[in-house]
């Protein structure tokens, strides 16, 4: 078990939980759907990271970049600063984790 797998696991659980926090998602269903879909996929993908599967890091990298990009799509985030912050922090931390995983 590596710290990278644990990081992705914990942050994917946070994405799923944060989808139901009104202060973060607001009234935007785009936030809810995006947090849930990305969170569930990253949760499923995080388990092979414990076994040392390097191909999985590419999937995490793609979803990390998507989180960072979707932070700036107003149709998804709406006007919620909490959603923007959540997208950026989770996206950047998982991006760093996936880059280090590829070493």
Output the pLDDT for position 53.
64
pTM above 0.85, yes or no: no
Output the pLDDT for position 48.
74
Output the pLDDT for position 54.
67
Per domain, the residue ranges of the chain are: 3-101
Cβ proximity of 7 and 93 under 8 Å:
yes
Q: Report the half-sphere exposure of 69 (CA within 13 A, side-chain side).
A: 7
Which residue in this structure is represented by tokens 């880059």?
A: 99
Phi, psi of 71 (to 5 degrees): -65, -25
Average confidence (pLDDT) per 10 residues, the chain, 103 residues: 79 89 72 86 80 74 89 71 84 86 55
Output the pLDDT for position 60.
85
Residue partners of 24: CB distance under 8 A and separation at least 6: 18, 31, 80, 82, 83, 86
**Alpha helix segments (H runs only) across 50-101:** 55-70, 74-77, 81-101
């Amino acid at each position: 078990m590596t710290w990278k797998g644990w990081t992705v696991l914990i942050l994917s659980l946070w994405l799923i939980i944060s989808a139901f926090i009104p202060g973060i998602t607001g009234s935007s269903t785009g936030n809810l759907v995006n947090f849930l879909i990305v969170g569930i996929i990253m949760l499923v993908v995080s388990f092979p990271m414990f076994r040392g599967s390097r191909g999985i890091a590419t999937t995490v990298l793609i979803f990390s970049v998507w989180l960072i990009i979707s932070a700036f799509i107003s149709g998804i985030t709406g006007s919620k600063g909490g959603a923007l912050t959540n997208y950026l922090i989770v996206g950047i931390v998982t991006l760093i984790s996936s880059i280090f995983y590829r070493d």
